[in-house]
Structure 1
Amino acid sequence: MPSASRATAPSGPTASAHATPTGDDLVRRAAEMRPLLIERQAETERRTYYAEDVHEMFREGGFYRMLIPRRYGGLALPFADYARVLVELAHGCAGTAWCFGLAAAHALQVGSYFEKHVQDEVFGDGEFRAASVAAPGVVARREDGGWRLDGTVGYCSGAPYSTHFVGQALVHGLPKEEQARRMLLYIAPRSEWTMLDDWGGDLGLKGSGSHSIRFDGGRIPADYALEGVDMISVDVDGGTPGYALHGDALYSGRSMAPFTMTLCAITVGAGYAALDAFEEELRTRRTALPPIVPRLTDPDYHRWYGEGLAKIATAEAALMRCATEHHALCERTAAGGPPYSAEEEVRLGAIAREAMLQAIAAVEGPLRQSVGAGVLDDGARFTRILRDLAMVAAHRNTVMREPLYRVLAGLRLGLA
């Protein structure tokens, strides 16, 4: 029988990859890939990123083009569609979804904040994927009319298939008190950095391609860097170059809320994957204590399954509500209304973060505590999901929830 946690992957014909896919098309294609992604999970973890043929499926299917502007051959789909696709991919393999999702998502930043001639070059060949890290692990020096970049950046998820890197750099020579205020937001082509072979030893998300990258005298043109722009809080008061260029509200918004929603979508998908693994045990195993009956008929297992489903579905509902509101705020900004504010961005991020915690709690609570030790073998699907979610719970975005509660309160109350 199909899983009750989500609709089973469709078995009907897939739309031609050469047609312009809709959001629904891509959600369906992502669901159709689920059996393959599950089958390949161990292999993906050993490689530390998904295989070349999966990469080609993403390319041919239009997945990488979801957030690229239409003038460059992109689809410019609403962020809600992107989130739905990530949920489906993570329902198969969270590591694959993380590696894909954290590289493809940054088309939104480039399409929003950089000028036309930069976008023409970066998006021009129709190929764009960019790992990105907000922490400024690189030092930038002015040199030959551009910037020289030196340093190593860790946790660059999606680096194996990235064509670019989008990051933050501290400007060499500035007084310490000015460095944070005048950080660079920059784009660096793949030719200017080297990916290190240092991923795969962490507890989970082993297939996420979260390698470090190293700049050793990397060079970018001056206009590939925006001085004084912090990617975690981009002020869009007065509009964005992206909206002026594309006339699409998708490119008029802030960036940190969509990033948190990206992580949330993957977490929700992993929650549904855990629910599927729990259901498999429900349908094939018997209770451990008398009366020994099929778990499928036991009311306690019904309660644990139902609690997990309710919590994960609630997290998904909160995620989609955030994505819808994000789009509305982008449209309001584009229409000349009150600009998308820092408070609104922090609030949406906080909601998405709470949804992540809800999904994690559903897996670590009623599902893990009742699935049985026999299911927790090292290579088992449920065990892999637990490891992946442990990494999500330890991610900087997640552990920042306490200080961000204070930031949200300060913004709402009008305090500095």
Structure 2
Amino acid sequence: MARVAEIDTMLVDKARSFIPRLRERGAETDNIRRIPEATIEELKEAGLFKILRPHMYGGFQSNMRTYTDCIVEISQGCGSTGWIVALCAIRELMVAESFSEKTHQEIFGENEDVVFAGVYEPRKCIAKRVEGGYMIEEGFWMFCSGSLHASWGYFGMPVMDEKGKLIDQCLMTVPFNQMEIMDDWHTMGLRGTGSNSVKMNNVFIPDHRVVSFSQALNGNFASQHLRDVPLYNTALFPSLILSLGLPGLGLVKAALEFFQDKLPGRKAAHIGVEYVRDAASTHLMIAEASLKIDSASMHYYRVADDLDDWAQRGTYMDKPTRVRALADIGYANQMCKEALDLLMLASGSGFVYEGNPLQRIFRDFWTLYSHRSLSPNITKENYGRVLSGLESNALRY
């Protein structure tokens, strides 16, 4: 157990060590609209894509708390890089849990240099049943973060009967060299994530690389060879949504740090004091922002710890707890937004200049905050329904 704790500490320390260099590469990351290759290679060398990968495939097989720590640290250096590590690493969990040993052997083999990208919601996917698997005649998925660095992908695939009625929503894995990546990620924020649309035409997917997503969401995993590893009993959907929110926590922590660093020398105007740090309004805003960040952190870490606790007990997290976990994530996202609003208001208009780190944080955070899966309103509504003795309206949780 001590060795596991040492490894977890080592991973978090490595993630923290990236902050200065990621900040130095921030402008480059935005300009080239992808993570610099030097950063990708350093992340691979540090093993930060493999936090949740099984030991048998060269991973650290850690836990959701360590994962959370690492993503928050990296995101304090760069929102785009934090987003990529968050999503690529959580896909390791998804693939490990959802697919069979045969599929894992095909993906990893003797090559541990694997990076995953993927999207579980297709915008269009025409899949035909053929001998031994499925032919994807036409598939189109938007927002495929990490597409420019991926070697393997997972994608949602609806399975229809002969009358066109939906039978199941499935997941498939496919080598990324069978995908076409579109250059359409021209955005306000998270510019470096390379979240391009991807498509495929007439690609054969063998049966062993197709699993039921609906079954996986309820803990019925095809990875029978990993059933005795607690990590791979982790509730899938809350983990996926947690991965989307955590970079936002790192971003607002960085915003608070930048605000405090600049505060001592900031002159005041029209508020009755010489320096901004002497104003009572500053004291109120920075205190409230800090407490909101703390509140967001407590909700995010409650999710991570609950995921670990249920997995360690060998019991798949029940539906009410999963709905609450999603509400925790949505609420934490809202707390981060309100904290950032306060810090931006207290910072004055200087953030509008290019090169001001707060501007990039603002753009990155708002791109993240708007993700529908992180919606405070939707997640609270569904939690409220469960608290009222009703079924959640969410199709997936």
TM-score (norm 2): 0.90
Q: CA separation in 1, counterparts of 2:221 and 2:236?
A: 12
Q: CA separation in 2, counterparts of 1:21 and 1:188?
A: 35
Q: Is the 8 A contact 1:163 1:189 kept in 2?
A: yes
Q: CA separation in 2, counterparts of 1:161 and 1:151?
A: 20
Q: Counterparts of 1:107-186 in structure 2 under 5 Å?
A: 107-124=92-109, 125-137=111-123, 138-149=125-136, 150-171=138-159, 174-176=162-164, 178-179=165-166, 181-186=167-172
Q: Aligned in 2, Cα 1:240/1:33: closer, same or farther, shift over 3 Å?
A: same
Q: CA separation in 2, counterparts of 1:344 and 1:315?
A: 18
Q: 1:57 aligns with which of 42, 48, 57?
A: 42
Give the letter for the 1:321 counterpart: R
Match of 2:236 in 1: 255
Q: Counterparts of 1:17-416 in structure 2 under 5 Å?
A: 22-124=7-109, 125-137=111-123, 138-149=125-136, 150-171=138-159, 174-176=162-164, 178-179=165-166, 181-199=167-185, 201-227=186-212, 229-230=213-214, 234-236=217-219, 240-242=221-223, 244-245=225-226, 247-289=228-270, 291-332=272-313, 334=314, 337=315, 339-364=316-341, 366-399=342-375, 401-416=376-391
Displacement after TM superposition at 1:41 (Å) = 1.0
Q: CA separation in 2, counterparts of 1:410 and 1:301?
A: 39
Q: Aligned in 2, Cα 1:309/1:174: closer, same or farther, shift over 3 Å?
A: farther
What 5-or-longer segments of structure 2 have no aligned partner?
A: 392-397
Q: CA separation in 1, counterparts of 2:233 and 2:114?
A: 20
Q: CA separation in 2, counterparts of 1:311 and 1:20?
A: 29
- The C-alpha deviation readout for 1:35-76, integer Å capped at 9, x for no partner, is 111111111011112111111111111111111101111101
Q: Aligned in 2, Cα 1:81/1:158: closer, same or farther, shift over 3 Å?
A: same
Q: Is the 8 A contact 1:97 1:208 kept in 2?
A: no
Q: Is the 8 A contact 1:64 1:129 kept in 2?
A: yes
Q: Is the 8 A contact 2:234 2:317 kept in 1?
A: yes
Q: Aligned in 2, Cα 1:165/1:278: closer, same or farther, shift over 3 Å?
A: same
Displacement after TM superposition at 1:376 (Å) = 2.2
- The C-alpha deviation readout for 1:66-90, integer Å capped at 9, x for no partner, is 1110111110101111111110111
Q: Aligned in 2, Cα 1:392/1:175: closer, same or farther, shift over 3 Å?
A: farther
Displacement after TM superposition at 1:358 (Å) = 0.3
Q: CA separation in 1, counterparts of 2:42 and 2:227?
A: 28
Displacement after TM superposition at 1:243 (Å) = 6.1
Root mean square deviation, CA, Å: 2.2
Q: Aligned in 2, Cα 1:92/1:114: closer, same or farther, shift over 3 Å?
A: same
Give the letter for the 2:156 counterpart: Q
Q: Aligned in 2, Cα 1:120/1:411: closer, same or farther, shift over 3 Å?
A: farther
Q: Is the 8 A contact 2:157 2:169 kept in 1?
A: yes
Percent identical residues: 25
Q: Which moved more, 1:277-286 or 1:317-326?
A: 277-286
TM-score (norm 1): 0.86
- The C-alpha deviation readout for 1:88-119, integer Å capped at 9, x for no partner, is 11111111111222122111111112111111
Q: CA separation in 1, counterparts of 2:227 and 2:48?
A: 20
Q: CA separation in 2, counterparts of 1:404 and 1:372?
A: 32
Q: CA separation in 2, counterparts of 1:91 and 1:190?
A: 29
Q: Aligned in 2, Cα 1:246/1:21: closer, same or farther, shift over 3 Å?
A: farther
What 5-or-longer segments of structure 1 have no aligned partner?
A: 1-18
Q: Is the 8 A contact 1:165 1:189 kept in 2?
A: yes
Displacement after TM superposition at 1:244 (Å) = 4.5
Q: Is the 8 A contact 2:292 2:339 kept in 1?
A: yes
Q: CA separation in 2, counterparts of 1:354 and 1:37?
A: 28
Displacement after TM superposition at 1:187 (Å) = 1.0
Q: Is the 8 A contact 2:248 2:369 kept in 1?
A: no
- The C-alpha deviation readout for 1:275-332, integer Å capped at 9, x for no partner, is 1221233122111225442333333323222221111122112211210111111223
Give the letter for the 1:225 counterpart: V
Match of 1:3 in 2: none
* Secondary structure at the counterpart of residue 182 of structure 1: strand
Q: CA separation in 2, counterparts of 1:404 and 1:209?
A: 27
Q: CA separation in 2, counterparts of 1:243 and 1:353?
A: 33
* Secondary structure at the counterpart of residue 161 of structure 1: coil
- The C-alpha deviation readout for 1:119-167, integer Å capped at 9, x for no partner, is 1222332133222222123222223422222222110111111121112
